[in-house]
Structure 1
Amino acid sequence: MKTILLKISVLTFIVLFSTNSYQIKNRDDQEFQGQAIYISKSKMELGNWGARLSEEQKKQIEARMKNRLEKEYILNFNKEESIFYEDEKLDAISGATDSWGKNFAPGKQYKNVKINSQIQSQEFYGKQFLVKDQLQAIKWNLGSETKEIGKYTCFKATASIPTKELTWYNFSWDRLRNVNEKKADSNGVKIENTKPIDFTEVEAWYTPQIPVGHGPLEYWGLPGLILEVSAGNTTMLCSKIILNPAEKAEIEAPAKGKIVTKKEYQNTVVEKMQEFRNNRGRRRG
């Protein structure tokens, strides 16, 4: 009974917060717009190899990889649409380049929460792709825990999401091994070796004071803008919000590139990396 009352009180608070937010803004849906700046920080994972390194060596590697481990992103949004992209000015200022990493980084991402659509621009080894698909389905568990992020009151939400759905634009050699590992059925026909699905536990903090269903990367669908999200070894934190800026940003879907789905794009990446490994093996031979 206490649990039910707690959920009712939380939902009531969210509804009241959302209603007040709409009244305060008093703007037409088409006019309302906002911008959120996110700082992304990832912990370095060196695996078994890292265990053999000294703390000084680890610090040196972390310093060299700073442009991969720390990034800044921009999210422009209105009531229905958003455009999310990396602010590459920081790399330009530092002079840092990461041509290999850019092949597996998220490109400019457009979401439309009204029609459940996502369009993302991806460049892979000099070829441009336009990845069109539905938004990642997320079953959020809304909690009652709150905290302040800047001047906004945020609520906690959690979810368990298949890891490959969160990192579909990325690549790991494990993915290639999974594709190559086959087993034969009773008729001797080789089939894919099915393995348990890996899930990533996600913790998000959203504010009903900005009642839009947007968030960074694949995250969306909460009753308020997501200001912080932690998944795996990465945390993204909103450092600045501008509501109804004097100069409106263009929120338009990317339009250039070969049109593919997320799965088709994943297959393209795996095939290219298989070709890369085969060619490297032949050179060694």
Structure 2
Amino acid sequence: MKTIVVTLLTFFAAVISAIAQDFQGMAVYESKTSTSDFQSSFAGNRDITPEMQKMFEERMKKMFEKTFVLHFNRNASIYKEEEKLDAPGQGNSGFRMASSMMGGGGTQYKNIKEKTYSVDKEVFGKEFLVKDSLPVLEWKMGSETKKIGDYTCYKATAMRKIDQSDFRNIRMKKDDEKKNENESSNKKVEEKSTNFMDQIDMPTEIEITAWYTPEIPVNQGPENYWGLPGLIMEVNTGKTVILCSKVVLNPKDKKEIKAPTKGKAVSQKEFDEIVKKKMEEMREMGGGRGGFQMRVGG
């Protein structure tokens, strides 16, 4: 009798383990980034017609409002922008480059067990495979709760270093900031700079507010966010909000969760340096008057 009980317990343990390993979920996230800084920088510019302003705002919306799908199991996940039919002029390399810098493009793979990630990105006509260790955030757990869909979520906050190739966190410098910089470097201020790189400021660190639900006990979330005792349903960085709009557990059609392999393998730091160097080259090619212009199509 004892042997039968042990055999049954072993059998059930094996079944539970197999079910756990086969577990998979799918979550849809809507990502929106504030464009107020960019829009205000163009306000009052006499060279920009109302038609140009409207076109600019439409293309900014295309870059800054995205839908992503996260497929996850207990150990790994893939996060990818939902494929949409490109409008005319938005399938070119310039738009893809700008979109990539605003958090889109490529397949982002996280392996929670190994604490690594990889993402394939196409910038400047070249394919890169960024592979690195997952950022370990020191989450501060809160007691505040709120409902997201049908799930009760808990608040957590952390400080995070910013990848310098992620332009969603940039802000436009104020005129007095640019003036003080020019004066400190003994530059003569003759006219308002139209060089894009001279007008932006990139922080090195930001505060993250996340909302997670223990009702889905997986160590997963959108982008490179992880490390909470439940699926991360919302991330707020101040300028960007990533909000889960749909969750399906154990979907009928399973998704193969594997790391991307295409592109030149580089670390995140190396990739940031490549982007920075290329941006500087484009800035110099633009000359002193216009400088680098972030074209997003056309």
Q: Shared fold (TM-score greater than 0.5)?
A: yes
What aligned pairs does 1:51-200 form with structure 2 within 5 A after superposition? 52=44, 61-89=56-84, 92=85, 97=90, 98-104=95-101, 105-106=103-104, 107-162=106-161, 164-165=162-163, 168-170=165-167, 198-200=204-206
- Equivalent pair of 1:138/1:161 in contact (CA under 8 Å): yes
Q: Aligned residue pairs: how many?
A: 236
Q: Contact 2:31–2:241 (CA<8 Å) still a contact in 1?
A: yes
Opposite residue 270 of structure 1, the aligned amino acid is K
Residue of structure 1 aligned with 2:28, choices 20, 31, 37: 37
Query: Structure 1 148/215 Cα, relative in aligned 2: closer, same or farther at 3 Å?
Result: same
Asked if the contact 1:169/1:265 (under 8 Å) is kept, the reply is no
What do residues 84-107 of structure 1 show as CA deviations (whole Å, max 9, x unaligned)?
011122xx1655713341342443
CA change 1:60–1:281 in 2 (3 A) is closer
CA offsets 1:143-168 (integer angstroms, 9 cap, x no match)? 00111111111101111112x23x54
CA contact (8 A) 2:97 2:123 kept: no
- Partner residue in 2 for 1:193: none
| Structure 2 CA distance for aligned equivalents of residues 197 and 87 of structure 1 | 28
Counterpart amino acid of residue 145 in structure 1: E
Question: CA shift at 1:49, angstroms?
Answer: 2.6
How far apart are residue 46 of structure 1 and its match? Answer: 2.7
Relative to structure 1, is the Cα distance of residues 145 and 211 closer, same or farther in structure 2, using a 3 angstrom cutoff?
A: same
Letter in 2 for 1:141: K
Q: Which residue of 2 aligns with 1:271?
A: 277
1:218 maps to what in 2?
224
TM-score normalised by structure 1 residue count: 0.73
**Selected match of 1:258 from 258, 264, 274:** 264
Q: Which amino acid aligns with 1:33?
A: Q
Query: Shift of the alpha carbon at 1:108?
Result: 1.2
Evaluate the alpha carbon distance shift between residue 170 and residue 115 of structure 1 in structure 2; reply closer, same or farther with a 3 A threshold: same
Could you say what the CA RMSD is over the residues aligned between the two structures, in angstroms? 3.2
Any stretches of 5+ residues in structure 1 without a counterpart?
Answer: 1-24, 175-182, 184-195
